[in-house]
């Protein structure tokens, strides 16, 4: 997913996004709860991996559900890094799609 979104730069941004999501989930206390099932009940590492590999699904799911998944009140620095990096990846994805359509 990351290579069509901007080549190597998109891949590096998606990996950085995965790392910032992992750090935010860890600091926010978003952990897997035993006995619960569902896509949102995953560990911080799984959130980071999902964000790096399945950006289109994981980014909105994480941002929309972060508040109710959160169990600890910590700093929001990694959250805002995640938001900004995700916005940059979205811009790269849109630009690559527009560039391909314009090249036809």
Q: What is the pLDDT of residues 2-28, one digit of tens each?
A: 455 567 887 888 899 999 999 999 999
Structural contact between residues 92 and 13, judged by C-beta atoms closer than 8 angstroms: yes
Q: Report the predicted TM-score, pTM, of the whole model to 2 decimal places.
A: 0.84
Structural contact between residues 5 and 89, judged by C-beta atoms closer than 8 angstroms: yes
Q: What is the largest CA-CA distance in the chain?
A: 51
Domain boundaries, the chain: 7-103
Q: What is the pLDDT of residues 54-98, one digit of tens each?
A: 888 999 999 999 998 888 887 889 999 999 999 998 888 888 878
If you write DSSP's letter for every residue of 23-54 in order, what string do you get? HHHHHHT--PPTT--STT---HHHHHHHHHH-
């Amino acid at each position: 997913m990351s290579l069509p979104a901007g080549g190597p730069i998109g891949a590096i941004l998606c990996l950085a996004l995965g790392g910032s999501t992992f750090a935010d989930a860890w600091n926010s206390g978003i952990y897997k709860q035993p006995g619960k099932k569902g896509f949102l009940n995953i560990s911080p590492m799984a959130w980071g991996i999902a964000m790096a590999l399945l950006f289109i699904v994981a980014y909105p799911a994480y941002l929309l559900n972060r508040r109710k998944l959160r169990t600890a009140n910590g700093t929001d620095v990694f959250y805002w890094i995640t938001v900004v990096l995700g916005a940059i990846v979205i811009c790269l994805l849109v630009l690559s799609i527009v560039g391909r359509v314009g090249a036809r």
